[in-house]
Amino acid sequence: MTLRPGSANTFKVLEKYQTTEMLDGTIPICDYGSGDTFRLVLTGKRPGEIWVDSGIINDTGFYNLKVDILTFFENWLDREIAIKEGKSKRLVNAWYSFLEFGNNNRYKIVKAEKY
């Protein structure tokens, strides 16, 4: 299937994936900013997992962090403590910096080379 702006195929894909039905069975637990929201899955094949909803507003999709809510919170808390202690782990040039809170090997975050 070829996707071109304005083509019938493009509209079919957008119609399928830009719907709130994909959010059924989840609840938002944290707003990351810029349209990205962390969601807790309550029903379906992956209950208890944290996903990032970056699809409806940013058109980039949904990301499974492969962590439960406790692990997600611990990862976030560790980062906040590091920032407070001046040991910030802020990422350089990370398009999807929210992935640092997960544990999905499919998404690797690497620091950019210094220019």
Per residue in 19-41, pLDDT (tens digit) is 667 778 999 998 887 778 899 99
Question: What is the rounded CA–CA span in Å between residue 23 and residue 62?
Answer: 10
How many separate domains does the chain show?
Answer: 1
Do the domain assignments include residue 14? no
Do the domain assignments include residue 26? yes
Question: What is the rounded CA–CA span in Å between residue 77 and residue 83?
Answer: 10
Residue 32 domain boundaries: 21-101
pTM of structure: 0.66
- Cβ-proximal residues to 85 (8 Å cutoff; 6+ apart), any chain: none
- Cβ-proximal residues to 23 (8 Å cutoff; 6+ apart), any chain: 39, 53
Residue 23 in tokens:
């959010």
pLDDT of 96 strictly over 60? yes
Do the domain assignments include residue 68? yes
What average pLDDT does range 81-92 have in this prediction?
70
Do the domain assignments include residue 7? no
Do the domain assignments include residue 91? yes
Reduced to 3 states, what is the DSSP secondary structure of residue 13? helix
